[in-house]
Amino acid sequence: MNVGASRQFRPQRAILFDLDGTLIDSAPDITAAVNELLAGRDLARLRVDQVKAMIGGGVTKLVERAFAASGSPLSGSALEEANRDMAPIYRRHLTGLTRLMPGVREVLTHFHLNGTAMGVVTNKPQLATREILLHFHLTEYLGAIVGGDAVTHLKPAPDALLLALDQLGVEPTDALMVGDSSTDVGAARAAGMPVILLRGGYTQVPVEEIGADLVCDSLLDLPSAMQKLGAAA
């Protein structure tokens, strides 16, 4: 664990989790969806590592990045059409290849038993998010689930975090954001929340360089990481 710059840190009443790269490893499913879309236009397949680098800005940004990487960038009405085609494809590739990240169920159970409110905030569409969380039986732990289409502005804007906290009845200074990328750090900072990042997620920038309050190896380290962050504040 690496402690970053200290900020005011109070005992947490709530934890907000990112989804892709934080709670779930969804890159194989997302890659399958992207490649089905590209194949429909006779374009070459992309590798999982290529698609993983595109995850985090929502489905629209994913499609734009995928076509750019394929050598056939789209814009305007052509990009809008590709996004319409992607919608049903994306919904067919939500849970077939997706797996939970290590320690998810154990950590959510730990905080649930301790009375900590929890929510998921993601740029993934709301219905897709709920379907995935239901598939893995995680909704019972969560008091708020906010997808990208439930707010006006995607992360790194704070909208999703603030909506989730409003649903949980918790102030930002009493909550923690847990994610894997600069998008999560930006959203947490804009919302006025401390943030912990996990290694092994979907970021092309080393997590130590993104500016989180603390970085830890996995979700299993989160309880001790929170204690360490509180002691450093």
CB atoms within 10 A of CB 161: 28
Active-site choice (18, 25, 180, 213): 18
B/e letters for 163-172, b = 16+ CB within 10 Å, e = fewer, are bbbebbebeb
Q: Active site includes 49?
A: no
Conformation bin of residue 178: beta by default, left when phi > 0, alpha when psi is -120 to 50: beta
Give the number of other Cβ atoms within 10 Å of residue 77's Cβ.
Answer: 8
Alpha-carbon distance of 84 to 100, in angstroms, equals 28
Rounded Cα–Cα distance for residues 27 and 204 (Å): 14
- Could you give the CA distance from residue 177 to residue 119 in angstroms, rounded to a whole number? 10
How many Å apart are CA 158 and CA 190, to the nearest integer? 5
* HSE-up (13 A, CA, CB side) for residue 134: 7
Please list the active-site residues.
18
